[in-house]
């Protein structure tokens, strides 16, 4: 028997006419039979189980009780008039309440028969109530046949125009009946067997109408696995292709510069994590393949130094290297740091930002083209067309989320053979997300801070306790430390935000007349801004009042206090970044979060997380839980190839790993994509890719 074509228009399903078809298409994106088949319910209601009234809690979404009505009363008047059936199951009384059709209901049920009632319990006036329950005579109810009822998400608009749960259930039943031949399997048979997965056919059916909770969870596991497996298959196949296509520049010379630096210029011992990461990059760059590596390390973990050493490795093989930073201040700081670290070594480091003009710029460009400039540090300016390298071997992108993919890929073109690429980020990306979104990059993690750092102490203050706070600030400054005070600034409320900052600045001047205070915000001219930053960095001023311009990268080891005003307005990731500006020296550092007294629940939770942990990865996980993975910086730009319909990167972290392992095995087993056992799988991947989410329109 020929199978039903799942691309068939939904209008051909029994129970769907032209009008319903239009509604389903426009409001719910269900255009074909296949769309309906994978329009999985968001929850099921278990009607195979009876509860006793004394077991009820207000959290229960739906319950089913069996018992008798003791009596009926009509209560209230006018619009509030309602019929109350006092229902007892022998363990207690629960009130059934109807506001509509009172005469009809009163006739339909009596005090003699036993009924099964179903609905959502609420606790009110010392007793449980169920409003508008479903009531069936007990002798007509066969519990085991009721099973799990699917609930589909139906948008308001569709609801208004008549789409109901019952209708959806009916349509899906019709469809499943129509599909008599089993749905073809898309996962390799050996995988299904080995992992004891449900077949696709069983799973799809059970997703809608499972016999019980156990079957539902097996089906849902299978569908999640399938979804994540194809995401990983796509990534790994692409990675493999790239590895075969691009030859990596040969960075294989044992390095004089590297060794000289390591043995004679490095002012401290590298941490174990730094050593490991450098080793990983060294292996990559001499492997004959292009390096594509993501380096994650919490703020202050010493990524900048690792970047410098990676560049020295490239230089040793006769290549140039380039590092891009997201802001001018950061680029300048990097250039300074590198020059300082390198001392008198024969390495020419140049800084290229929008500010470098005229002859100075011309000199740098010529030096790059001729090969005399070894390391270029810059902002976006380095990807302009005028910038040509003689022999670019390594590109490092710092704080990657501020650079779009398109901008990065412009850099690839700066050499005939694409240079090695290292992407550094201090925004910890939860492992499962990294594996999925940056799945084509190899990942290195610096999970160790340089020795001697004391963990930052984070305190949460309500804004009525400033006096106490300022005493603390005074003590720190008296010890020679410096203090950041940060204000939020967003476009929508820019004017008020700046006023707040100015008010805060004046308040601090009045409070600390003996100290000098810097002020930095986005409205200032770049020169003024830089001058103020410089005054703080050199210790001329003791307090820096700023908006979030200091969020990224600034390094003033002597600063030991970070005060964040209106902390409720910052997200977790941002708070953690800001906190990372202190705790860079050997002193005990503090981060003080100031909020108003009244806080929303999730704000309270954010503050609590901040005071409880300094671990960037833990914070990133929590952040993802609070906000959902879609909102993390860069997710969209980097583009998940397909939308996830059943899997959740937070909840299904383990499945992500399993899917990746399985996909890796398959790609290794069938690199040419020609084994018959995998044909259906590759075909399915191609079909999925045709429906690929198009992010290109989203900037
Ligand atoms: P990141 O860029 O990861 O935020 P940085 O590279 O700016 O961190 O390093 C923070 C500070 O720690 C810098 O002052 C740096 O010189 C110092 N540092 C880096 N590595 C070490 C180490 N192994 N031992 C001691 N100090 C280090
Ligand atoms: Mg840094």
Of 547 and 199, the one with more pLDDT: 199
Mean pLDDT of all residues in 73-92: 92
Ligand closest to the CA atom of residue 552: 2
The burial of 483, by beta-carbon neighbours within 10 Å (0-12 exposed, 13-18 middle, 19 or more buried), is given as buried
Is the pLDDT at 683 greater than 60, yes or no? yes
47: closest CA among 144, 172, 166?
144
Looking from the CA of residue 307, the nearest atom of ligand 1 is: 6
Is the pLDDT at 236 greater than 80, yes or no? yes
**pLDDT level of residue 525 (50, 70, 90 thresholds):** confident
Is the pLDDT at 522 greater than 50, yes or no? yes
Query: Does residue 237 line the site of ligand 1, with CB under 6 A?
Result: no
Is the pLDDT at 270 greater than 90, yes or no? yes
Is the pLDDT at 697 greater than 50, yes or no? no
User: Which pair of tokens denotes residue 242?
Assistant: 């790239």
Phi-psi region for residue 72, left (φ > 0), alpha (ψ -120 to 50) or beta?
beta
* Residues whose CB falls within 8 Å of the CB of residue 351, separated by 6 or more in sequence, listed in order: 331, 332, 335, 377, 378
| Exposure letters 557-571 (e unless 16+ CB within 10 A, then b) | ebbbbbbbbbbbbbe
**β-strand partners of 377:** 323, 351
Query: Does residue 425 line the site of ligand 1, with CB under 6 A?
Result: no
Query: Does residue 394 line the site of ligand 1, with CB under 6 A?
Result: no
Is the pLDDT at 313 greater than 60, yes or no? yes
Give how far Cα 354 sits from Cα of 142, 378, 521, 593, Å. 76, 9, 19, 35
Structural Rg of the chain based on CA atoms: 32
Query: Does residue 296 line the site of ligand 1, with CB under 6 A?
Result: no
Q: What is the 3-state secondary structure (H, E, C) of 199-236?
A: CHHHHHHHHHCCCCHHHHHHHHHHHHHHHHHHHHHHHH
- The pLDDT value recorded for residue 289 is 84
How many beta carbons lie within 10 A of that of residue 643, not counting itself?
10
Q: Is the separation of the CB atoms in 570 and 550 below 8 Å?
A: no
Q: What is the pLDDT of residues 593-637, one digit of tens each?
A: 999 998 888 899 999 999 999 888 788 888 877 776 544 443 333
Looking from the CA of residue 305, the nearest atom of ligand 1 is: 6
Longest CA–CA span in the chain (Å) reads 100
Looking from the CA of residue 303, the nearest atom of ligand 1 is: 3
- The pLDDT value recorded for residue 651 is 76
Helix (H, G, I), strand (E, B) or coil at 353: coil
Of the ranges 2-6, 227-231, 281-285, 573-577, which one carries the lowest mean pLDDT score? 2-6
Q: Is the separation of the CB atoms in 146 and 47 below 8 Å?
A: yes
User: Which pair of tokens denotes residue 358?
Assistant: 């005229």
Angle between helices 616-627 and 601-612 (to 10 degrees): 170
Helix (H, G, I), strand (E, B) or coil at 626: helix
Of 266 and 650, the one with more pLDDT: 266
- The pLDDT value recorded for residue 616 is 83
Is the pLDDT at 639 greater than 70, yes or no? no
Q: How far is the CA of 450 from the centre of ligand 1 (A)?
A: 7
- In this structure, the residue with its CA closest to atom 9 of ligand 1 is 302
- The pLDDT value recorded for residue 407 is 59
Q: How far apart, in whole angstroms, are the C-alpha atoms of residue 553 and residue 300?
A: 9
Q: What is the 3-state secondary structure (H, E, C) of 450-487?
A: CCCCCCCEEEEEEHHHHHHHHHHHHHHHHCCCEEEEEC
Helix (H, G, I), strand (E, B) or coil at 63: strand
Ligand closest to the CA atom of residue 451: 1
Query: Does residue 271 line the site of ligand 1, with CB under 6 A?
Result: yes
Find the Cα–Cα–Cα–Cα dihedral 543, 549, 553, 559, rounded to 10°.
10
Query: Does residue 333 line the site of ligand 1, with CB under 6 A?
Result: no
Q: How far apart, in whole angstroms, are the C-alpha atoms of residue 283 and residue 278?
A: 9
- In this structure, the residue with its CA closest to atom 10 of ligand 1 is 300
Query: Does residue 500 line the site of ligand 1, with CB under 6 A?
Result: no
Looking from the CA of residue 274, the nearest atom of ligand 1 is: 23
Query: Does residue 583 line the site of ligand 1, with CB under 6 A?
Result: no
Mean pLDDT of all residues in 56-85: 89
Is the pLDDT at 73 greater than 90, yes or no? yes
Q: Is the separation of the CB atoms in 461 and 593 below 8 Å?
A: yes
Q: How far is the CA of 599 from the centre of ligand 2 (A)?
A: 33
Q: What is the pLDDT of residues 346-367, one digit of tens each?
A: 999 999 988 889 999 999 999 9
Q: How far apart, in whole angstroms, are the C-alpha atoms of residue 471 and residue 468?
A: 5
Select from 300, 577, 616 the residue to mutate for testing ligand 1; criterion: most ligand atoms less than 8 Å from CB. Answer: 300
223: closest CA among 38, 32, 439, 432?
38
Q: How far apart, in whole angstroms, are the C-alpha atoms of residue 494 and residue 73?
A: 60
Q: How far apart, in whole angstroms, are the C-alpha atoms of residue 616 and residue 580?
A: 10
Q: Are strands 375-378 and 349-352 parallel, antiparallel or unpaired?
A: parallel
Query: Does residue 300 line the site of ligand 1, with CB under 6 A?
Result: yes
Distance of CA 496 to the CA centre of its chain: 30
Is the pLDDT at 638 greater than 60, yes or no? no
Helix (H, G, I), strand (E, B) or coil at 652: coil
Select from 276, 302, 552 the residue to mutate for testing ligand 1; criterion: most ligand atoms less than 8 Å from CB. Answer: 302
Q: How far apart, in whole angstroms, are the C-alpha atoms of residue 98 and residue 108?
A: 13
Give how far Cα 592 sits from Cα of 238, 572, 600, 653, Å. 46, 14, 19, 33
Looking from the CA of residue 271, the nearest atom of ligand 1 is: 23
Of the ranges 28-42, 329-343, 437-451, 511-525, which one carries the lowest mean pLDDT score? 437-451
- The pLDDT value recorded for residue 694 is 41
- The pLDDT value recorded for residue 145 is 63
- The pLDDT value recorded for residue 524 is 84
Q: How far apart, in whole angstroms, are the C-alpha atoms of residue 216 and residue 205?
A: 10
Ligand closest to the CA atom of residue 300: 1
Query: Does residue 533 line the site of ligand 1, with CB under 6 A?
Result: no
- In this structure, the residue with its CA closest to atom 6 of ligand 1 is 302
Output the CA torsion sign for 193, 195, 199, 200.
negative
Looking from the CA of residue 304, the nearest atom of ligand 1 is: 6
Q: How far is the CA of 23 from the centre of ligand 2 (A)?
A: 52
Query: Does residue 427 line the site of ligand 1, with CB under 6 A?
Result: no
Mean pLDDT of all residues in 538-556: 79
Q: How far apart, in whole angstroms, are the C-alpha atoms of residue 497 and residue 501?
A: 6
Select from 304, 306, 334 the residue to mutate for testing ligand 1; criterion: most ligand atoms less than 8 Å from CB. Answer: 304
- The pLDDT value recorded for residue 391 is 93
Give how far Cα 46 sits from Cα of 174, 220, 387, 600, Å. 22, 16, 65, 33
Mean pLDDT of all residues in 156-171: 87
**β-strand partners of 394:** 321, 420
- In this structure, the residue with its CA closest to atom 13 of ligand 1 is 302
Strand order in the sheet with 590-595: 457-462, 590-595, 559-564, 482-486, 543-546, 517-520
Q: How far apart, in whole angstroms, are the C-alpha atoms of residue 325 and residue 105?
A: 71
Mean pLDDT of all residues in 258-267: 93
**pLDDT level of residue 272 (50, 70, 90 thresholds):** very high
Is the pLDDT at 375 greater than 70, yes or no? yes
Beta-carbon-side half-sphere exposure of residue 133 (alpha carbons within 13 Å) = 30
Q: Is pTM, for the whole model, over 0.75?
A: no
Query: Does residue 305 line the site of ligand 1, with CB under 6 A?
Result: yes
Looking from the CA of residue 268, the nearest atom of ligand 1 is: 24
Looking from the CA of residue 337, the nearest atom of ligand 1 is: 16
- In this structure, the residue with its CA closest to atom 5 of ligand 1 is 302
The burial of 491, by beta-carbon neighbours within 10 Å (0-12 exposed, 13-18 middle, 19 or more buried), is given as exposed
Q: How far apart, in whole angstroms, are the C-alpha atoms of residue 677 and residue 331?
A: 52
Query: Does residue 552 line the site of ligand 1, with CB under 6 A?
Result: no
Q: How far is the CA of 307 from the centre of ligand 2 (A)?
A: 9
Ligand closest to the CA atom of residue 586: 1
Select from 278, 305, 338, 585 the residue to mutate for testing ligand 1; criterion: most ligand atoms less than 8 Å from CB. Answer: 305
Query: Does residue 297 line the site of ligand 1, with CB under 6 A?
Result: yes
Is the pLDDT at 437 greater than 70, yes or no? no
- In this structure, the residue with its CA closest to atom 20 of ligand 1 is 302
Q: How far is the CA of 299 from the centre of ligand 2 (A)?
A: 7
Q: How far apart, in whole angstroms, are the C-alpha atoms of residue 279 and residue 299?
A: 21
Is the pLDDT at 487 greater than 80, yes or no? yes
Average pLDDT over the chain reads 86
Query: Does residue 306 line the site of ligand 1, with CB under 6 A?
Result: no
- In this structure, the residue with its CA closest to atom 15 of ligand 1 is 302
- In this structure, the residue with its CA closest to atom 18 of ligand 1 is 302
Q: What is the pLDDT of residues 100-157, one digit of tens each?
A: 888 888 999 999 999 999 888 998 878 899 998 888 888 877 766 667 888 899 888 8
Looking from the CA of residue 452, the nearest atom of ligand 1 is: 25
Query: Does residue 304 line the site of ligand 1, with CB under 6 A?
Result: yes
% pLDDT > 70, the chain: 91
């Amino acid at each position: 028997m020929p199978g039903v074509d799942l691309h068939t228009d939904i209008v051909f399903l029994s129970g769907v006419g032209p009008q319903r078809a239009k509604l389903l298409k426009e409001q719910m994106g269900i255009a074909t039979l296949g769309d309906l088949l994978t329009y999985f319910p968001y929850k099921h209601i278990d009607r195979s189980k009876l509860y006793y009234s004394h077991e009820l809690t207000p959290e229960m979404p739906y319950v089913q009780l069996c018992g008798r009505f003791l009596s009926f009363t009509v209560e209230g008047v006018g619009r509030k008039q309602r019929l109350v059936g006092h229902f007892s199951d022998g363990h207690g009384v629960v009130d059934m309440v109807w506001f509509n059709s009172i005469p009809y209901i009163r006739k339909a049920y009596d005090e003699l028969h036993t009924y099964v009632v179903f609905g959502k319990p609420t606790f009110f006036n010392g007793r449980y109530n169920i409003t508008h329950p479903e009531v069936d005579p007990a002798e007509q109810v066969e519990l085991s046949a009721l099973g799990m009822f699917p609930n589909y998400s139906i948008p308001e608009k569709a609801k208004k125009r008549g789409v109901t749960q019952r209708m959806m259930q009916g349509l899906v039943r019709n469809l499943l009946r129509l599909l008599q031949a089993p749905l073809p399997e898309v996962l390799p048979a050996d995988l299904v067997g080995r992992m004891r997965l449900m077949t696709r056919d069983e799973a799809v059916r059970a997703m809608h109408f499972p016999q019980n909770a156990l079957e539902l969870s097996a089906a849902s596991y299978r569908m999640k696995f399938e979804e994540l497996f194809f995401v990983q298959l796509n990534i790994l196949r692409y990675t493999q292709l790239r590895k075969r296509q691009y030859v990596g520049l040969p960075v294989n010379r044992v390095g004089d510069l590297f060794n000289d630096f390591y043995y004679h210029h490095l002012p401290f011992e590298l941490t174990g994590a730094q050593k490991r990461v450098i080793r990983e990059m060294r292996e990559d760059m001499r492997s004959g393949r292009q390096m594509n590596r993501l380096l994650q390390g919490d703020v202050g973990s010493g990524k900048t130094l690792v970047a410098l050493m990676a560049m020295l490795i490239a230089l040793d093989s006769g290549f140039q290297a380039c590092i891009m930073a997201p802001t001018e201040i950061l680029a300048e700081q990097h250039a300074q740091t590198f020059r300082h670290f390198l001392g008198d070594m024969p390495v020419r480091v140049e800084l290229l930002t929008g500010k470098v003009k005229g002859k100075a710029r011309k000199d740098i460009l010529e030096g790059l083209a001729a090969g005399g400039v070894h390391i270029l540090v810059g902002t976006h300016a380095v990807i302009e067309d005028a910038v040509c390298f003689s022999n670019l071997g390594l590109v490092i992108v710092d704080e990657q989320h501020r650079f779009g993919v398109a901008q990065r890929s412009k850099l690839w073109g700066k050499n005939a053979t694409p240079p090695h690429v290292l992407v550094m980020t201090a925004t910890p990306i939860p492992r499962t997300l990294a594996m999925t979104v940056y799945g084509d990059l190899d990942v290195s993690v610096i999970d160790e801070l340089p020795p001697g750092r004391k963990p930052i102490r984070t305190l949460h203050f309500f804004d009525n306790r400033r006096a106490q706070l300022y005493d603390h600030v005074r003590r720190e400054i008296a010890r020679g430390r410096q203090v950041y005070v940060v204000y939020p600034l967003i476009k929508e409320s820019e004017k008020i935000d700046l006023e707040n900052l100015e008010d805060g600045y004046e308040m601090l001047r009045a409070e600390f007349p003996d100290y000098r205070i810097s002020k930095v915000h986005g409205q200032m001219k770049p020169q003024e801004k830089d001058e103020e930053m410089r005054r703080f960095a050199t210790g001329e001023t003791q307090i820096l009042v700023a908006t979030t311009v200091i969020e990224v990268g600034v390094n003033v080891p002597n600063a030991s206090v970070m005060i964040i005003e209106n902390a409720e307005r910052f997200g977790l990731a941002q708070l953690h970044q800001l906190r990372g500006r202190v705790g860079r020296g050997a002193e005990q550092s503090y981060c003080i979060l100031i909020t108003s007294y009244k806080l929303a629940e999730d704000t309270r939770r954010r503050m609590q997380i901040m005071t409880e942990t300094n671990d960037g990865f833990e914070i990133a996980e929590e952040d993802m839980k609070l906000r959902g993975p879609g909102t993390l910086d860069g997710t969209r730009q980097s583009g998940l190839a397909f939308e996830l319909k059943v899997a959740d990167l937070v909840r299904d972290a383990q499945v992500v790993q399993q899917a990746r392992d399985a996909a890796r095995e398959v790609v290794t087993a069938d690199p040419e994509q020609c084994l018959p056992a995998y044909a259906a799988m590759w075909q399915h991947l191609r079909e999925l890719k045709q429906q690929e989410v198009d992010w290109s329109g989203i900037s």
